Amino acid sequence: MTERVDVHLDALTGLNAGMNARESVSCGSASGDNTFYLETFGCQMNAHDSEKVAGVLLGRGYRQVETIDAARLVLYNTCSIREKAAQKIYSRLGAYQKYPGDEKIIGVLGCLAQQEGEDIFERSPWVRLVCGSASYSKLPDLIEELERGNRRVMGLDKDTDATFETEITRRDNPFRAYLTIIEGCDKACSYCVVPFTRGPERSRSSASVLEETRRLADAGYSEIQLLGQTVNSYRDSSPRRMSFAELLVEVAAVPGIRRVRFTTSHPRDFGRDIVEAIDAVPGLCDHIHLPVQSGSTRVLRSMLRTYTREEYLEKIAMIREARRPISVTSDIIVGFPGETDEDVEETLSLLDVAQYDGVYAFQYSPRPNTSAQHMPDAIPEEEKGRRLARVLDRQREIQIVRNEALVGETFEVLVDGASRRAGQWAGHSSSNRILNFTSPQPGLLGQYVQVRVTRSAPNSLVGEHVV
């Protein structure tokens, strides 16, 4: 699998069936131009935050446009997990020098906003709005202040006691709905900005999660993806005190819901009850994303990951013991300060043992407000690149073999993409594999179909519709 830097909104942006955005109620802009452009960088949490931000703006009478040129309000929902991601956003912001005066309102949302705060105004003086994710509920008021003539506004709360939820989330994917169940993170991985940018963990009550699931099912969604930075650290705040596994089972039982996914799981909080739930309930997808980050216990200690290589592999063994095969994917960081050649070998050997179906691998980059920022023994960039290539090569070999073994198998696929070529479709299996396939039937978008695999590639499968 290739290096993941940006994860933009699903390719289905623009297919509006099933969206639950409320009709416009008022015009939000004093200038009369109520257009906004919103671009998202980073993880699925950010993608879902953007859906909520879009919903709030649409509810205030704003109109979303597809190009920067057509927009008065230009918003970037940013990621700062790696230095590259932050640099990319600053280079985007640099382009606004060409717009005279106040022709556009430029806003920076998300993790970079939370991390850099008013320094963004220094570096990019044409930016007028800086707002972190804990302050999104105040976004309409902040924009109103700008429209009233305030030059610059900021929303940088560190913590809110409730997650930011809105009735008018504008979901981009008409089939799969993201649903945040826990915000923030109480872990303290030494390389990670999330505890700083998103604050401490706050879980939604199971009642509100189930109520939103029912609403989503009524709106036509059949697949739900529960989100959280550490989704399986979920703690029900209601008197029912449901465990995460119990919540999974109840969400899957909502009439109309056919698939339930969840991401991202933290290995420390990953228990057998989750595997048992997947085994017992067919609606729970047979895919688990369980980031390991390194195969070396020494590096894991330095990363403050709170588990050893052996403990992690015990969790993998537990997943492999399930009655139905469960696909497992992971994240890996190479080039962490002090990482030796032996540590890299341990990561490579962990890949061999874990037999992941996909890996997102990255080069470490020091981030502000993290404890690893000033660690000694930094690895030179060139060497990080070599290590990354080794990890990706090894994983590619594993995926070639694993995917080849699937030729001849049949998967149920939710069709969520169509090629320009007639009869060519794409979709995801419950195990989150991408299948490109041919079918003699038209109008398959949003349907569940059976697809037999005829060919394999390292990152996807090719097949034909079993009619």
What residues line the site for ligand SF4 (CB under 6 A)? Answer: 185, 187-189, 192, 194-195, 229-230, 266
Q: Which residues of 442-464 are buried (b: 16+ CB within 10 A; e: fewer)?
A: eebbbbbbebbbeebebeebbbb
8 A C-beta contact, residue 242 and residue 206: yes
- Smallest distance from the beta carbon of 105 to ligand SF4, in angstroms? 31
How many Å apart are CA 426 and CA 58, to the nearest integer? 30
Give strand pairing partners of 455.
462
Give strand pairing partners of 77.
40, 109
Minimum CB distance to ligand SF4 smaller for 4 or for 187? 187
Minimum CB distance to ligand SF4 smaller for 116 or for 172? 116
**How many other C-beta atoms are found inside a 10 Å radius of the C-beta of residue 421?**
8
- Smallest distance from the beta carbon of 231 to ligand SF4, in angstroms? 10
Minimum CB distance to ligand SF4 smaller for 176 or for 266? 266
- Smallest distance from the beta carbon of 369 to ligand SF4, in angstroms? 12
- Smallest distance from the beta carbon of 187 to ligand SF4, in angstroms? 4
Give strand pairing partners of 425.
418, 437
How many Å apart are CA 129 and CA 62, to the nearest integer? 17
- Smallest distance from the beta carbon of 208 to ligand SF4, in angstroms? 22
In 11-104, at which residue ranges do the beta strands (DSSP E only) sit?
35-40, 63-64, 73-78
How many Å apart are CA 310 and CA 324, to the nearest integer? 23
Tokens of residue 169, six digits: 């989330």
8 A C-beta contact, residue 193 and residue 42: no
Minimum CB distance to ligand SF4 smaller for 190 or for 238? 190
**What are the distances in angstroms from CA 254 to CA 122, 212, 215, 244, 278?**
49, 10, 10, 16, 16
Distant-in-sequence, close-in-space partners of 61: CB < 8 Å, separation ≥ 6: 24, 25, 26, 27, 28, 29, 34
- Smallest distance from the beta carbon of 17 to ligand SF4, in angstroms? 33
Distant-in-sequence, close-in-space partners of 443: CB < 8 Å, separation ≥ 6: none
Tokens of residue 190, six digits: 């030494």
Minimum CB distance to ligand SF4 smaller for 194 or for 344? 194
Minimum CB distance to ligand SF4 smaller for 144 or for 311? 311
Minimum CB distance to ligand SF4 smaller for 370 or for 439? 370
- Smallest distance from the beta carbon of 434 to ligand SF4, in angstroms? 25
- Smallest distance from the beta carbon of 33 to ligand SF4, in angstroms? 38
Minimum CB distance to ligand SF4 smaller for 261 or for 465? 261
Minimum CB distance to ligand SF4 smaller for 188 or for 207? 188
How many Å apart are CA 120 and CA 57, to the nearest integer? 23
Minimum CB distance to ligand SF4 smaller for 107 or for 195? 195
**How many other C-beta atoms are found inside a 10 Å radius of the C-beta of residue 214?**
14
